[in-house]
Amino acid sequence: MAAKSPSLPILSIFLLLLFFNSGGTLMVASGQKTWCVAKPSSTYEELKDNIDFACSHVSCDIIRDGCPCSTPYTPINHASVVMNLYYQQMGRNQWNCDFRNSGLIAVTDPSYDGCQYEYA
C-alpha cells in the first residue's frame, strides 16, 4: 500500500515548527506567496497594540462593522487581518511581520468566507 502524502494543513504546521526550531528564519521559494497572521499565543494586549500600530500606518476599514473581515469579531481575527495589510503594504519583509514577536508568516492563504486577505 502506498504511503499517503501529508495534507496541506499538516505541511503548514510542519513549516511553522521548522520556523520556530530554526531560530526564526523562514526561507521561502522565490515567488512563494506569504501572509502575516497573529500568533495564537498572543495576549489581548499584544493584539490590541498590533491593531493600533498597523491601523496607524494602513487603512483598516476592512475590519469595520459590516465590512468583509469584521466577523468573527475577535481580537485575533482583527489583528491578523490588519497585521497582514501592514505586512503586504510594507513589502512583505520578515521584519514587517514581527510585531514584537507576535506575528507569524503563513504560506497558506488565511482568507475565509467573504474575507479576502490582501496579497500584493
Q: What pTM value is reported for the model? A: 0.75
| pLDDT above 60 (res 22) | no
* Whole-number average pLDDT of the chain: 83
- Taking the alpha carbons of 95, 96, 102, 108 in that order, is the dihedral positive or negative? negative
Tell me the pLDDT band of 11, cut-offs 50, 70 and 90: very low
- What average pLDDT does range 45-55 have in this prediction? 98
pLDDT at 99: 97
Question: What is the spatial distance between Cα 94 and Cα 92, in angstroms, rounded to a whole number?
Answer: 6
How many angstroms separate the CA atoms of 115 and 15, rounded? 24
Cβ partners under 8 Å of residue 114, min gap 6: 68
pLDDT of amino acid 14: 46
Tens of pLDDT, residues 66-113: 999 999 999 999 999 999 999 999 999 999 999 999 999 999 999 998
Other CB atoms closer than 10 Å to residue 14's CB: what's the count?
A: 11
